[in-house]
Structure 1
Amino acid sequence: MRKIIHIDMDCYFAAVEMRDFPHLRGKPMAVGGRSDSRGVISTCNYEARKFGVHSAMSSHQALILCPDLVLVPGRMSVYKQISQQIRAIFEQYTALIEPLSLDEAYLDVTDSEHCQGSATLMAQAIRQQIFEQTGLTASAGVAPIKFLAKIASDLNKPNGQYIIRPDEIADFVKPLALKKIPGVGKVTAKKLLDIGLTHCKDVQQYPAEQLIRQFGKFGQVLIERAHGRDDREISPHRVRKSVGVETTLAKDIYTLAQCQQVMPQLIQELSARMQRSAKDRQLYKQVVKIKFNDFKQTTMEHRSDELSVNLFSKLLTDAIQRANGRGIRLLGVSVGLADEKEPADEQAHVTQLNLPL
């Protein structure tokens, strides 16, 4: 059995702003763009969450729910600097660190000798050091496997921790709601609900072959999680799975021609980003994403081993057919990256991309 700690900072961006600007404390506040420029909430504090405000919500909608909400612009350079401080604390306890974002990470402390080898005590010590050095609070989950450690870190927020011991796994997962499992989003949860599955105990009793037939590979993953199994190891060097760019439009657009005017800049940015972070990687698919003005979104994708402007154009044409009169507020393009690296000379199609549509 391994000892996994999942550390999750409490409303990280908002907490940094409240730390640096004390007048924001006690008020509902959020880090996000202005409501008059199609801004989106990045993070909000707990006072704002009481009104139903949450991340990824439009700033306009957030202000409707909470008229007194204080919106502040983000300071990404500050958040990154503090994240490096936090990472240095993690490194005092283990070298097996898998960051998920600036404000959360998995730590494998199975072989760590700190705190007499107690993962519980290490989690407490890490959280205390984070507070002493940054003035910010963190929550932690401790479990023998990754997905349960992540779920546990959310159970005593803010500024708390939750422990799931090996002999507690079976009893813990049975009543666990499937929507709590990482990877089960709203769409998947709805599909599961449609066949009568809401909790792990339901999956345990459901025919495995039928679940795999309906959900493919994720069906097998769901079976494993519902039985409290997760063999994934901590990956200190996570492999990038995709590269993408997107833009929120200043005003809704409605036609294919209007979308085509936006696409060249997006593809140019995507190409540049690929050169910086994925120039030695083989592609396997291209994706176009559209978010409509009712905040529902759709994606179209197609397998491809080379970056094709014509394919992006076709995917865009197909995706916009789903608008049904709705305005478009966001456009995005991305590529999926194959697992294995390919020789650089086989990636020439990336650098020789012909950009004009």
Structure 2
Amino acid sequence: MDEREGYSALSKDDEQATRIASLALAFMSSDTISDDTIWHSFYPDLTKPDSYRTAFRRDRAALAECGIMVSRAEGQEALWRVDSASFVESTELSDEDAMALDVACLPLVDDPDFPYGAELRIALSKIDDAFDYPVSVSLPVEERIPSRQLATLQECNLSGQAAQIDYVRADGTTVQRLVAPYGFFGMRGHLYMVAPSIDERGIAVKGSAHTYRIDRVRRASRDAGLSFEIPEDFDVRDWQKLPFQLGPVTCEGVFAIPAESAHEFSQVTLGKGTLFEPDGTSGTKANADNGHSPASLLWRVEISSVEDAASWAIAEDATPIAPAELVSAWRSKLKGVVAYG
């Protein structure tokens, strides 16, 4: 896989398309979804209620154009559901509409970092043979488990109900956990869940929040009698890591990047680390004293794997300047690239 894959910034249209696809699949797989769950799961960057309501209203209009009418659940102001008017009449898409849908959804279907890819492919297979999905084919158990467990965990996330999981840790041992699935994210072809352990009252155990790799969840079941609430300040993006940050922190690295690439670089790095000017001031503000911006900025970030950080730096046009072992690994890999070329 190319080092850059999975780290390019999405346009606003791409983000909205991804969000609407996720909303559609969520509503089609759940009877009702609470306001809080929709807000925290699909609009985590909106902190004001008015901003959330405006964005969700706009997306409901887009869903309506697709035939998915979302409305308040009867007698439940805090719950939303798919209206019974949805899909009442059969509608056949034109060839042009089907092609437009293919173009819009194909990147999501094949994106390993999109948690609803399999469900989207099944939905599309009903209107387009190009997305043929052989659901009757018997797959090996190890290939069926991740999707089944993911579906259960996503349902728990949307319904606010606890999940009991059997999880295989990196050392091969299996542990059992009662968790509250707060959110999901994808990285480098793997899907992850952020979840704290919870007690018998549905209260998160302090300091127990953990990132679980979905393909290591061997069993997942819903505890319908135990509910939880996602904290208002939870943002799944706070848990996303860069490729070289998997595992215990071993050192802190400093990189130089072109100043003109600061905005794009900040998106690529998921907000991790600290960007600053060589004089120590914030890298996000211009030097107002002389009206001159530096040719390069510095970026400081925690590192778990020096080798992975060196490879990532080459892919993202960042120059390591500390520590020495990172610089050495980077130079060694550069020589290899030059020799191979």
User: TM bucket by the smaller chain?
Assistant: under 0.3
Q: TM-score if structure 2 supplies the norm length?
A: 0.28
- When normalised by structure 1's length, the TM-score is 0.27
